[in-house]
């Protein structure tokens, strides 16, 4: 007899209690038979709710049935299997935050970059804003980051103004003057819209003399760039 | 604001000088008109915005239709040109010939 069974136990002999391959002898108020689990790969686990304090329950081995499967908890003390995902898929939590799932990462965000580069100089003597050739239209999402680089000069000691608009509304203004004569000015905006046809453009005006926005100088061409996320 | 916009088959090497020449021509052809702010407290009737594309300059003449006194946005006085009705695409084009 293996397992250290005690021949003198008053509840009976182990070779009488145990009847089936895999049976165990255990104890509640007397020696009793613990029948082997009918399910392969389950394991014997302590459970105070059971009379003899033992139960057969799922194990990682009994839960994971396929190659590449993952083990997770579907509830308190409950094992569950997530079958292998499709090739190149990424693991993430489901929308309810209750279980992992596989998703196609190719369905992620798309970044679109547009540029508008001036090919001709523009000049203005106007004291009110006038639009330039620099304009871009948001293609789909309305969520974008736009930045501009302006290379300019003004003919007299006065101020000039640059305005970033969303097509109609003043978003941001910058002012230059003779102290920054011929300088390169960079301004940036980040804006979120809801229209797929959202326009951003650059407008200029001067408070004296002629304001020149350079567009044909290869070293310092004025430009507008937009990065859109959809 | 009255805007007269047209293209003219011309090219230039110096856009600043090109703009000044066009302003000078228009100011000489249309009596009393001022299209450039030369001093901070000038009274002007409008301005010229030009896109200097080779062989295809886009010229936009901006003319004020109301008087607007100096304010936070500008130190100049904006004034309607007395002979504004005479400013048409045809008369402006002829002035630039």
Dist. CA B15–CA A213, nearest whole Å? 9
* Positions of chain B with pLDDT lower than 50, given as ranges: none
Tell me, yes or no, if A117 comes closer than 8 A to chain B by beta carbon. no
Judge: A122–B49 Cβ closer than 8 Å, yes or no. Answer: yes
Single pTM value for the model = 0.68
Phi, psi of B84 (to 5 degrees): -60, -35
| Torsion, CA A150, CA A154, CA A160, CA A164, rounded to 10 | -20
Task: Please check whether residue A185 is in contact with residue A176, taking contact to mean a CB–CB distance below 8 angstroms.
Answer: yes
- Alpha-carbon A161 to chain mean position: 39
CATH at B87: 3.30.70
- What is the CB-side half-sphere exposure of residue B80 using CA atoms within 13 A? 10
pLDDT tens-place string over residues A94-143: 999 999 999 987 767 788 899 999 999 999 999 999 999 999 998 877 78
| Torsion, CA B8, CA B65, CA A132, CA B11, rounded to 10 | 20
DSSP code per residue over A105-127: GGGS--EEEEEEE--S-EEE--S
Dist. CA B3–CA B72, nearest whole Å? 24
pLDDT of residue A133: 93
pLDDT of residue A1: 36
Delimit the domains of chain A by residue range.
1-57, 111-229
Q: How far is CA A48 from CA A9, A24, A56, in A?
A: 24, 17, 13
Dist. CA A121–CA A221, nearest whole Å? 9
Judge: B16–A124 Cβ closer than 8 Å, yes or no. Answer: no
Task: Please check whether residue A215 is in contact with residue A118, taking contact to mean a CB–CB distance below 8 angstroms.
Answer: yes
Tell me, yes or no, if A210 comes closer than 8 A to chain B by beta carbon. yes
Q: Which chain A residue lies closest to B64 (C-alpha atoms)?
A: A128
Q: CB A127: neighbour CB atoms within 10 A?
A: 26
Q: Go through chain B and tell me how many residues it has.
A: 97
pLDDT tens-place string over residues A30-81: 888 889 999 999 999 999 999 999 999 999 999 999 999 999 999 999 999 9
Looking at beta carbons, which residues of chain A come within 8 Å of B38? 156, 208-209
Q: Which chain A residue lies closest to B63 (C-alpha atoms)?
A: A126
Judge: A121–B52 Cβ closer than 8 Å, yes or no. Answer: yes
Mean pLDDT of chain A: 84
Dist. CA A196–CA A5, nearest whole Å? 80
Dist. CA B78–CA B44, nearest whole Å? 5
One CATH from 3.40.190.10, 2.60.120.760, 3.40.50.620, 1.10.1040.10 for A111-229? 2.60.120.760
Task: Please check whether residue A162 is in contact with residue A150, taking contact to mean a CB–CB distance below 8 angstroms.
Answer: yes
Q: CB B23: neighbour CB atoms within 10 A?
A: 20
Give B86 or A157, the one with higher predicted confidence: B86
For chain B, the domain total comes to: 1
- Supply the range of the domain harboring residue B71: 2-95
Q: CB B81: neighbour CB atoms within 10 A?
A: 21
pLDDT of residue A181: 58
Strands (E) across chain B are located at: 2-8, 43-44, 46-53, 56-63, 77-78
């Amino acid at each position: 007899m293996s397992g250290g069974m005690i021949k003198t136990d008053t509840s009976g002999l182990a070779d009488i209690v145990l009847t089936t391959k895999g049976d165990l002898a255990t104890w509640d108020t007397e020696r009793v038979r613990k029948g082997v689990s009918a399910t392969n790969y389950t394991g014997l686990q302590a459970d105070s709710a059971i009379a003899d304090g033992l139960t057969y329950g799922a194990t990682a081995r009994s839960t994971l049935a396929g190659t590449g499967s993952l083990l997770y908890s579907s509830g308190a003390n409950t094992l569950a299997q997530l079958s292998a995902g499709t090739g190149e898929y990424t693991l993430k939590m489901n929308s309810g935050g209750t279980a992992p799932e596989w998703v196609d990462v190719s369905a992620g965000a798309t970044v679109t970059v547009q540029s508008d580069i001036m090919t001709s100089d523009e000049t203005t003597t106007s004291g009110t804003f006038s639009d330039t050739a620099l304009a871009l239209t948001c293609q789909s999402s309305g969520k974008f980051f736009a930045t501009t680089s302006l290379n300019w000069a003004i003919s007299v000691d006065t101020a000039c103004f640059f305005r970033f608009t969303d097509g109609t509304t003043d978003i941001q203004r910058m002012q230059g003057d003779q102290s920054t004569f011929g300088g390169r000015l960079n301004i940036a905006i980040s804006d979120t819209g809801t229209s797929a046809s959202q326009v951003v453009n650059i407008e200029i005006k001067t408070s004296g003399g002629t304001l020149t926005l350079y567009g044909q100088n290869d070293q310092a061409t004025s430009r507008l760039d937009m990065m859109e996320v959809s | 604001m009255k805007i007269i916009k047209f293209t003219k088959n011309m090219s230039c090497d110096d856009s600043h000088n090109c703009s000044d020449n066009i302003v000078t021509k228009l100011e000489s052809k249309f009596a009393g008109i001022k299209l450039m702010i030369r001093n901070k407290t000038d009274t002007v009737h409008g301005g010229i915005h030009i896109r200097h594309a080779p062989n295809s300059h886009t010229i936009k003449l901006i003319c004020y239709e109301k008087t607007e006194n100096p304010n936070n946005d500008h130190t100049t006085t904006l004034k309607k040109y007395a002979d504004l009705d005479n400013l048409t695409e045809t008369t402006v084009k002829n002035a630039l010939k």
